[in-house]
Amino acid sequence: MADATLGDRLLALVRELHPLCRSLTGDGVRETLAVLRRHAPLEVHEVPSGTRVFDWTIPDEWNVRDAWIADRAGRRVVDFRRSNLHVVGYSEPVDRRVGRDELLRHLHTLPEHPDWIPYRTSYYQRSWGFCASQRSVDAMQDDAYDVRIDARLEPGSLTYGELFLPGRTAEEILVTTHVCHPSLCNDNLSGIAVAALLAGELAGRPRRRGLRFLFIPGTLGSLTWLARNAGRLGAIRGGLTLTCLGDGSPFTFKRSFAGDSETDRAAALALRRSGHAHRIVDFPPWGYDERQFNAPGFRLPIGSLMRAQHGRFPEYHTSADDLGFVSAAHLAESQAVLGDLLHLLDGNARYRSLCSHGEPQLGRRGLYRAMGGDGDPEALQMAMLWVLQLADGEHDLIRMAERSGLGFEVLARAAGRLHEHGILAEESAAKEAVS
Amino acid sequence: MADATLGDRLLALVRELHPLCRSLTGDGVRETLAVLRRHAPLEVHEVPSGTRVFDWTIPDEWNVRDAWIADRAGRRVVDFRRSNLHVVGYSEPVDRRVGRDELLRHLHTLPEHPDWIPYRTSYYQRSWGFCASQRSVDAMQDDAYDVRIDARLEPGSLTYGELFLPGRTAEEILVTTHVCHPSLCNDNLSGIAVAALLAGELAGRPRRRGLRFLFIPGTLGSLTWLARNAGRLGAIRGGLTLTCLGDGSPFTFKRSFAGDSETDRAAALALRRSGHAHRIVDFPPWGYDERQFNAPGFRLPIGSLMRAQHGRFPEYHTSADDLGFVSAAHLAESQAVLGDLLHLLDGNARYRSLCSHGEPQLGRRGLYRAMGGDGDPEALQMAMLWVLQLADGEHDLIRMAERSGLGFEVLARAAGRLHEHGILAEESAAKEAVS
Amino acid sequence: MADATLGDRLLALVRELHPLCRSLTGDGVRETLAVLRRHAPLEVHEVPSGTRVFDWTIPDEWNVRDAWIADRAGRRVVDFRRSNLHVVGYSEPVDRRVGRDELLRHLHTLPEHPDWIPYRTSYYQRSWGFCASQRSVDAMQDDAYDVRIDARLEPGSLTYGELFLPGRTAEEILVTTHVCHPSLCNDNLSGIAVAALLAGELAGRPRRRGLRFLFIPGTLGSLTWLARNAGRLGAIRGGLTLTCLGDGSPFTFKRSFAGDSETDRAAALALRRSGHAHRIVDFPPWGYDERQFNAPGFRLPIGSLMRAQHGRFPEYHTSADDLGFVSAAHLAESQAVLGDLLHLLDGNARYRSLCSHGEPQLGRRGLYRAMGGDGDPEALQMAMLWVLQLADGEHDLIRMAERSGLGFEVLARAAGRLHEHGILAEESAAKEAVS
């Protein structure tokens, strides 16, 4: 049973962020990050327009104050104030009267869903445009309309948020979610809310591996972060992009390019033990920022956690991805699964036996069939024998679980007991080794 | 639908070559190569008797002018002029009267197919012999017969043909077929005709990888070529031996020893997309020259393309493997499959992204959803993303097709577009690097 | 059909060894080894108490002369002379009157099998105790009892037996069986008897690989041997622990940790070709000394051959594992399977072709279709071609059998013929290379 209070808090955060007009750049992202800072101590980065990022350049910043289409009677038939989806992202300013035919060439609709407004952007090819429901466009029968997009496209910066929670070792896990979509709930206020509240919850806790959260515009945002953090990438052992975590579909995990990385195995285990319906799909080279992290020049083993899969549900990138499309219960369920997945990744140590020439004498240390009051003694005993046999520095705890058929937790407890007794050493990169 | 004209030309060539008495050495091979030179610009090599070739020595050259068995009435009951199969290959000269019992010890028949003449040779163990139908032998009831084999076994040479079609890179694909069998159509005039006409067709075309055709006596011929070309073997990336390509059986592809080489994957793809019935079998250490190329000291990944499998059909190595056993349509079908297989092997490049840190900005180059008139834009778009993701210098295009589920051609087109825009470099060994 | 005489001899040896009171140390082991020396020329080693062995220390030696519990009438209600299982192994001496309640805390029974005596030891935690049938304990209704364990726990030594049968190469196969259990027949007089008679049988024969037999107390015995033979471990190519070889269950082979070692493949082949029912199970980190040999610091590929699996049958470690639980026929069957397995491991050479550039000219050497009187010529011919193709120094004969589908013996015969003709060299480590 998911945590009802948590679900309510997640949904409240989605609701609060919903009206903001996010885009690749601009104040909508800044305002979003300001709200998130109330939940988790993010650092906010600004990277100036014109900065080269690998094959790309950070564009001018885009901000829109108002936008509308008015008929001859002066009535706003399409109005940015009612929904920020009405303006094509990165539209140039426009302020003139246009004939109906010309206007139609700048209007995007979804004929198959006549009441929905589509979400469209044109970041790199400068133009202007509006999105509207087919029904409202059908009603526009005047010869000409006044169109106004009160937008600025000027040198500014790309904005992203980052929170690093240090761990005991130099290894890192990355959790990243895109913040460039306007009033769309599942994609991606759900990912933003889950990441922010979980970051806040985990901030005060000890951990083995550093945990880095990114709240970042899609594609260019992740490329920017990658370009600015080249020296840190070697520490990243796994991670996830988050999106579409509030709808009612079964979970979807999209594997990393490697396909059998720690992240992939941890996700399979977390989903299996969650008991929730789920499917696991191979990495395709589209989707969100996982495609950047997994590119040939990086090959970071970053998978993607979703419920409905991006691009595969009708409400995707339309006004129907609204507050009614996500629920408190599903958001909370997603956060629980993510939390467990990160718990597995954090605890998934490899060990080397310091007593590897045969078995150590467990009896002398009180570790042999002398374990009343410590859970199921038989299972813990078996787990100790498995851990000792597999403590060759190559098997991580998830691999041990796969090979032994035992649970991750009992193996982790066994490894912990053996570690306390000086029988095992952890193989993780030492903090000192990297920093 | 196979090319009917091509089929007719293939069958005409088989018909023309049929009467020649080919063997391990001798004028039959020379005359065969002379005919082939009208179709493809082969070079003819002569290697003297006595030359050491690894564990072997090139034997004396064998030529036979006439041979017969005559009864007491002087009637030729077995006559080389009716079929060159009647003489055991490499028979020593003989010219004397022998008793019926002694003669029978030198006669080979196929009792289970009483009208067929078997094909027999005895290259390395000197003797003489005749092959005849069981029915004709049953009719031989005289006490003694005059036998004559007017053959020469003298120092001469082993003859083979070779055609090298250079490519843009230093890599090579090898196509080899044996020319040592006398009047047998499927094994191997079919292989010879298909190789020769395809070589002629491809001679004028540009290609990525060099293409080397060998028309060569079995076993000793390929060993001779291997011994004389030791320095070139490193350039060979794959290839095929050809035999039995004119009968009506489904195709058979015999894998290389490696089993998962480029050749093996290209053959599987070519056969799959041909739509023809086929089977793929693991490498056994018998058959034709693939056993030499795949030997432990070479391990060249050479597979074998056939229809009926050598040794597995009753007509194999008998007079029933005649002009009626092969057809124009099947020969043409085989050439089409071989042509496509070589097309795949030629185009099967590996690429390295020059923009490997995330995705390149395709939009700026007009490569992003701006591809009207260039086939299916969606498929080409997806293919570009797959190629970019897999352009790590290790995935060849066939592997990309296997992983993405997309077709080879659309991936090749996508790679070509990205290459034109300077985003990809080809990983093939540069021409300069080897020569 | 198993050898009836062999079965009788095995059972006679089990019967002779049955009364001796074996333990981790002490005269029972010495007397056992003395009996075995009549069958195989074992060397006996004594390692003093107090010797450090990795994480362990060899304890004081334990010997017991007599032990009993007597009721108030002086009647021995539990008597070591009737069964040495009655005394908990490594019990401290005791000689006093105890109240019934205190006595019960030192008494072990099997309530679910009221007529059976359990087998218990407490090697490392000093205490005293008795084992008895539930029925006899239920009958003990006196208020107090006299208990006496006339045992000595004094510095002495750990005793084990070892027999090394040298081979032609420096490689070794290890066969080890535990000798620390008292009057239990299947576990492990069956293993001891089979190992001893087979060692005696093989002692006089030539072999390729050295064969080392250990008769050794469980856990500490194998650790002791490992510690004293660190320099020899590199020569060990495979081997087995033996236990539970006299009962009527199907055979069980427990794989080595590696899971695909020569031992694992030889065992699968030996069991398959034995025709006996069997199961093969993955390595778990419990059982007998295979867990020490396979530990991370050694990773020696030692599997385990059994019939019923240790710990998985009700009679295990009880007085019901008696002379009636094992049979002559099953013991003999086990020895036959073990003999064949060792035969496979001994003969499982890897070869390198000295004629690897294509095929050698077999005809010139009389090896090509000239093999009358040498078994099935076709199979031997095919086996030669397979061996030549796979003679790359990496494929051992079992791998050749797996890949070719041919039998091990015909491949071995083919390899032998090719070796005689100087075409193959064996890849085994030369004797000289190691010693």
Residues 132-151, chain B, touching A (beta carbon < 8 A): none
A295–B388 C-beta distance less than 8 A: yes
- For the residues C61-74, what does the mean pLDDT come to? 97
Q: Is A124 exposed, middle or buried (0-12, 13-18, 19+ CB in 10 A)?
A: middle
pLDDT over 70 at A294, yes or no: yes
Give the residue among A400, A390, A398 at the shortest CA–CA distance from A424.
Answer: A390
pLDDT of residue B256: 98
Beta carbon pairs, A and B, within 8 Å: 62
Spell out the SS3 assignment of A347-389: HCCEEEECCCCCCCCCHHHCCCCCCCCCCCHHHHHHHHHHHHH
Q: Which of C24, C52, C53, C56 to mutate to test the interface with A (most CBs of A within 10 A)?
A: C56
pLDDT of residue C364: 87
pLDDT of residue A368: 76
DSSP symbol at B420: H
Q: Taking phi first (over 0 means left), then psi (-120 to 50 degrees means alpha), and beta for anything else, what does residue C122 get?
A: beta
C283, C255 contact by CB (below 8 A): yes
pLDDT over 50 at A434, yes or no: no
Half-sphere exposure of B70 (CA within 13 A, CB side): 13
pLDDT band at B178 (very low <50, low <70, confident <90, very high): very high
pLDDT over 90 at A126, yes or no: no
Tens-digit pLDDT profile for residues C19-33: 999 999 999 999 999
Calculate the average pLDDT of chain B: 94
C391–B56 C-beta distance less than 8 A: no
pLDDT of residue B429: 57
pLDDT of residue B126: 87
pLDDT over 70 at C431, yes or no: no
- For the residues A87-114, what does the mean pLDDT come to? 97
Determine which helix (DSSP H) or strand (DSSP E) holds B23, and give its type and residue range: none
- For the residues B273-297, what does the mean pLDDT come to? 96
**Residue A56 touches chain B, beta carbons under 8 Å:** yes
Q: Are β-strands C56-57 and C52-53 bridged in parallel, bridged antiparallel, or unpaired? A: antiparallel
- For the residues B149-164, what does the mean pLDDT come to? 98
pLDDT over 70 at B36, yes or no: yes
Tokens of A347: 């605890």
C364–B124 C-beta distance less than 8 A: yes
A227, A54 contact by CB (below 8 A): yes
pLDDT of residue A232: 95
Tens-digit pLDDT profile for residues A321-380: 999 999 999 999 999 999 999 999 999 999 999 999 999 999 889 887 643 344 566 889
Phi, psi of B353 (to 5 degrees): -70, 135
Q: Taking phi first (over 0 means left), then psi (-120 to 50 degrees means alpha), and beta for anything else, what does residue B412 get?
A: alpha
Tokens of A332: 């909370």
For A235-251, give the DSSP string.
GEEEEEEE---SSSSPE
User: Rounded to whole angstroms, what are the CA distances from A157 to A37, A63, A182?
Assistant: 19, 11, 18
Give the residue among C257, C334, C318, C343 at the shortest CA–CA distance from C292.
Answer: C257
B392–A298 C-beta distance less than 8 A: no
Tens-digit pLDDT profile for residues C237-264: 999 999 999 999 999 999 999 999 999 9
In this complex, the residue of C223, C294, C296 whose CB is nearest that of residue A353 is: C296
pLDDT of residue A51: 98
DSSP symbol at C235: G
pLDDT of residue B388: 96
B387, B351 contact by CB (below 8 A): yes
pLDDT of residue C377: 65
Residues 6+ apart with CB under 8 A from A282: A254, A255, A259
pLDDT of residue A8: 97
Tens-digit pLDDT profile for residues C327-374: 999 999 999 999 999 999 999 999 999 999 999 999 889 887 643 344
Check the CA dihedral C389-C392-C397-C401 and report its sign: negative
pLDDT band at C307 (very low <50, low <70, confident <90, very high): very high
CA distance to partner chain C, nearest, from residue B296 (Å): 5
Q: Which of A56, A127, A216 to mutate to test the interface with B (most CBs of B within 10 A)?
A: A56
Dist CA B343 CA B332 (whole Å): 16
Dist CA B128 CA B69 (whole Å): 12
pLDDT of residue A363: 85
pLDDT over 60 at B373, yes or no: no
Q: Which residue of A has its CA nearest to C222?
A: A358
Tokens of B186: 């499927």
For A42-106, give the DSSP string.
-EEEEEETT-EETTEE---EEEEEEEEEE-TT--EEEETTT-GGGBPBTPPPEEEEEEHHHHHHT
pLDDT over 70 at A218, yes or no: yes
Give the residue among C298, C301, C293 at the shortest CA–CA distance from C263.
Answer: C301
CA distance to partner chain A, nearest, from residue B380 (Å): 13
Tell me, what amino acid is at A346?
D
B192, B177 contact by CB (below 8 A): yes
Tell me, what amino acid is at B182?
P
pLDDT band at A382 (very low <50, low <70, confident <90, very high): very high
pLDDT of residue A39: 97
pLDDT of residue A187: 97
User: Rounded to whole angstroms, what are the CA distances from C185 to C52, C214, C239, C247, C252?
Assistant: 31, 18, 23, 9, 18
Residue C396: how many other CB atoms lie within 10 Å: 23
pLDDT over 80 at B374, yes or no: no
- pTM of the full predicted structure? 0.92
Tens-digit pLDDT profile for residues B250-271: 999 999 999 999 999 999 999 9
Tokens of C1: 């059909």
Calculate the average pLDDT of chain C: 94
Dist CA A183 CA A189 (whole Å): 8
Q: What share of chain C is helix, strand, coil (3-state, %, to 5)?
A: 35, 25, 40
Q: Are β-strands C144-154 and C94-99 bridged in parallel, bridged antiparallel, or unpaired? A: antiparallel
B297–C364 C-beta distance less than 8 A: no
Tokens of C72: 């108030």
**Residue A359 touches chain C, beta carbons under 8 Å:** yes
Dist CA B429 CA A403 (whole Å): 42
pLDDT of residue B433: 40
Give the residue among C56, C162, C172, C48 at the shortest CA–CA distance from C431.
Answer: C172
Dist CA B234 CA B63 (whole Å): 36
Q: What percent of chain C has pLDDT over 70?
A: 95
Tens-digit pLDDT profile for residues B301-328: 999 999 999 999 999 999 999 999 999 9
- For the residues A99-110, what does the mean pLDDT come to? 97
**Residue B257 touches chain C, beta carbons under 8 Å:** yes
Contact list, C389 vs chain B (CB under 8 Å): 257, 285, 291, 294-296
pLDDT of residue C435: 37
- For the residues B336-349, what does the mean pLDDT come to? 98
Q: What percent of chain A has pLDDT over 70?
A: 95
pLDDT over 80 at B351, yes or no: yes
pLDDT over 90 at A1, yes or no: no
C183, C32 contact by CB (below 8 A): no
ipTM of the complex: 0.91
Contact list, B352 vs chain A (CB under 8 Å): 296
Three-state DSSP class for C149?
Answer: strand
For Cα atoms A223, A229, A234, give the angle at the middle one, nearest 5 degrees.
105
pLDDT of residue B355: 94
B292–C389 C-beta distance less than 8 A: no
pLDDT over 60 at C300, yes or no: yes
pLDDT of residue B173: 98
pLDDT of residue B148: 98
pLDDT of residue B45: 98
pLDDT over 90 at A429, yes or no: no
Tens-digit pLDDT profile for residues B377-393: 688 999 999 999 999 99
- For the residues B29-54, what does the mean pLDDT come to? 98
Tens-digit pLDDT profile for residues B58-72: 999 999 999 999 999
pLDDT over 70 at A435, yes or no: no
pLDDT of residue A371: 39
